[in-house]
Structure 1
C-alpha cells in the first residue's frame, strides 16, 4: 500500500515528499526506483519526524505500529493518512481519534472502497432493494512467496477477518444504515507457520437492528482455494445486486488489483408480472472505466489533501472507522470464545 500511496504523492501538485521511511534499505531503494526519483531516506521514523518537520505523515505499516506512530505524528503537528485498520484495539483507535481532535489535525483512514466508483454504485443499488438485506461477501487469497510472507507478518497481530473485514463491514453498515447488534464467527488455523493462537481462515456473521444480516469470509495462504474467492452479493425483498469480478484465470486471488476490480454490476429485479414470470430483465451495469489500484490510492490522497486544505470535518469518517474495527474485533472475540457477542 505504501508504494501506491507514494506514487500518488509523487504525482500530485499538492504534495511534496520530504522523506521515505522504512526499516530496511532494500525496501526504501525499491520504492525510490519505482518512483524514478530520489528523496531523503530514513530507517528511523522518529528521526525522520525531527529532521524533515513534515506537514503530513502517511503511515502504511503493520497494525501493531499504528497507535504509536500516529500519536507521534500528531504530537509533531502533522496531519495523518493512516492505512486501515486504525489500531489493534478499540481503545487504541479511540485514543488515536482523540489525539487527532486534541491536536486539531486531520486523520484520514485508508478505506479504499469508499473512493471506488463501482462500490459507491453497488451501495446505492443495494439501498433500493428494501429491507432486510442479506449481504454475502468474501475475499480469499491463495498466497505464496512474498505475499505469503506479508500475510504472515500481518497475522502477527490480527487475523484476516479483522484486517480485511473492516472494509466489508463498513460497506454493510453503509448499505443498511442500521445499527449492528450482534456478531458471531467461525475460524480455523490451517498452518503452523503462524504465531500461537492465530488463525488464517475465518467467517464472521453480523445481524443488524433492522433484521439485515451479512457474512464476510477471508482466508490467506498457499492452501486456500480460488473457487468462489470473490463473492460480493446483496439480496433484498425487491431483488439482488452482485459485483462481477475479474474473469476466472485473468488474475490470481493474491493480486491486489483483483481485490477491488469489477467487470460489471448485475442487478436482478424480483417483481413478477400477471403471468407469474419476471416483469423485468436483469440489468448489467458496465464498470469498464473504473480506476486500478494505484488510481484508487490517488483518489484517497485527493480526499486527504482536500480535508487539509478545506478544513473538512472528518468526525463521521473517524467514527465509522472505529465502529467497523469494533465489529470485526467482536467477531474475533466470538470465534475465540465460541459465543455470540452482543454489540
Structure 2
C-alpha cells in the first residue's frame, strides 16, 4: 500500500469527517492544513491531535510539504482555484460536492485533470449506503424488466439558518445534486434533457425557491421524475429520498431507509390486474457507508490505477443535471444536456 501525503484545504463544514478518515487510514499521512482563517486550521489540528503545519495559502502549503493528494473541502466558489492549483502542482484532488460552482469551471477542471493524468474525484457519499447498493442490484438483476420511470420524492423541512436561507435556489443548488447523482447511480443512465419548474411555496422560510419539479429524459430511454421541497413540514421522506422505479415487468421500491423490494408480475399471470410476487432485496454490501465508503473507493482506484466511481468526468453528468434544471426553470423551456455541456 502506498503512503499518501495529504494536504487538507478548508477546515470548516465537512472537514472533520475527511480529516478523521485520513488520520485513521493506514498508508495516509496528513502533511498540513490550509484555511484562509489560520485559527480554524489550528483548531482542526488540535481537535484531531495533529502535529502538522498550518497555512493560509494552498500554493505555499504544497511547496513546503510536497503532498500527493489535496483534499478540497472549501466552499464551492473556491473549488476551481483549489483544484487548478493542486493539479498544476502535480497533486491528485479529492473534493467535496459540488464539483464546481458553475458549469464552465467544471468543464475546465475536468479537462485539466484529464490532461494532467492525475485523479480528480468528487464526494458523492449517498452512493455508499447498503440499501441503495441493494436497490441498484435489484433493478440491474432484471427483476422488474426494463425500467421506464424513475421517481424520487424528497420532502424535508430543515431550518439551517445562515447562507441557505438567502440562496436564490437552495434546493437545486445545495441539495438536489445528491438525488440527481443517485438517479444516475441507480439507473446506470445519464441525462439527455430536462424540464424544471422551481418555486417557493407558502410557509417557506427561504428567500429563494425551496421546491422544484424536474422531468429528466435519460440515455436509456427512461424518464426520471424528481419532486422536492426543503420546506416540507410533516410526513418527511428520508434524506435519501423515497424511490419508485417502474419497469416492464414490475416495480421496485426503496423508502430511503432499509426497505428495498420489488413486486413482479407472476409468470403467465392474466386478468384485469395481474397478480404479482414480492422480491426482497439482499442488503449485504460489505463496504463502509457514507463519506468513509466514498473515500475508500477513491483511494482504491488511485492504488489500482483506474478511474474512481465518482471520477470528475463521470460526475460532470450529475452537476450538469443541476445546472440544466436551473436553466430550464429560468427560461421555461426544456434544456438539452449535451448542448449545455458544449457551451
Place the TM-score, normalised by the shorter chain, in its bin.
Answer: 0.7 to 0.9
1:225 aligns with 2:238: no
Q: Are residues 43 and 229 of structure 1, via their aligned partners in 2, closer, same or farther at CA, if it must alter by over 3 Å?
A: farther
Query: RMSD between aligned alpha carbons?
Result: 3.1
Conserved? CA contact 2:156–2:236, under 8 Å: no
* TM-score normalised over the length of structure 1: 0.79
Instruction: Check whether the contact 1:272–1:279 (CA below 8 A) recurs between aligned residues.
Output: no
| Structure 2 residue ranges without an equivalent (≥5) | 1-13, 338-343
Deviation at 1:5, TM superposition (A): 1.7
When structure 1 is superposed on structure 2, of 274-283 and 6-15 the one drifting more is: 274-283
In the alignment, which residue of structure 2 is the partner of 1:55?
A: 68
User: Structure 1 residues 269, 192: CA separation in 2 closer, same or farther (over 3 Å shift)?
Assistant: closer
For the 8 Å contact 2:134–2:282, the answer to whether it is kept is: no
* Number of residue pairs the alignment of both structures matches: 316
Note the C-alpha offset of 1:287.
4.2
Q: Residue 168 of structure 1 is aligned with which of 179, 193, 212?
A: 179
Q: Is the Cα–Cα contact under 8 Å of residues 135 and 235 in structure 1 kept in the other structure?
A: yes
Higher strand proportion, which one? 2
The offset of 1:207, in angstroms, is 1.6
Give, in whole Å, the separation in 2 of the partners of 1:27 and 1:143.
26
Q: In structure 1, what is the Cα distance between the partners aligned to 2:112 and 2:306?
A: 17
The alpha-carbon deviation at position 123 of structure 1 amounts to 1.6
Partner-residue secondary structure (3-state), 1:336: helix
Query: Take 1:274 and 1:192, find their aligned partners in 2: how far apart are those partners?
Result: 50
1:215–1:38 Cα change, 3 Å: farther
Equivalent residue for 1:324, pick from 318, 323, 329: 318
In the superposition, relative to structure 1, how do residues 322 and 168 fare at CA in structure 2: closer, same or farther (>3 Å)?
Answer: same
**Please, which runs of 5 or more residues in structure 1 have no aligned partner?**
246-261
In the alignment, structure 1 residue 214 sits paired with structure 2 residue 224: yes
CA–CA distance in structure 1, aligned partners of residues 155 and 292 of structure 2 = 25
Task: After superposing the two structures, state which structure 1 stretch, 127-136 or 324-333, moved more.
Answer: 127-136
Q: 1:273 to 1:226 in 2, by over 3 A?
A: farther
Kept in 2, the 8 Å contact 1:263–1:286? The answer is: no
Given that 2:191 and 2:216 are in contact with CA atoms closer than 8 Å, whether structure 1 keeps it comes out as yes
Within 5 Å, which residues of 2 pair with 1:1-343? 1-24=14-37, 27-28=40-41, 31-32=44-45, 34-127=47-140, 128=142, 129-144=144-159, 147-149=160-162, 151-152=164-165, 155=167, 159-178=170-189, 180-189=191-200, 194=207, 198-220=208-230, 223-230=231-238, 231-245=242-256, 262-271=257-266, 274=269, 276=271, 279-285=275-281, 287=283, 295-313=289-307, 317-343=311-337
Deviations 1:256-296 (A, max 9, x none): xxxxxx3231222233765747655423436498777xx42
CA change 1:24–1:137 in 2 (3 A) is farther
Taking a change above 3 Å as real, the CA distance of residues 313 and 286 of structure 1, as seen in their structure-2 partners, is closer
- Residues 264 and 67 of structure 1, relative CA distance in 2, 3 Å threshold: same
- Flag the 1:275–1:269 CA change in 2: closer, same or farther, 3 A: same
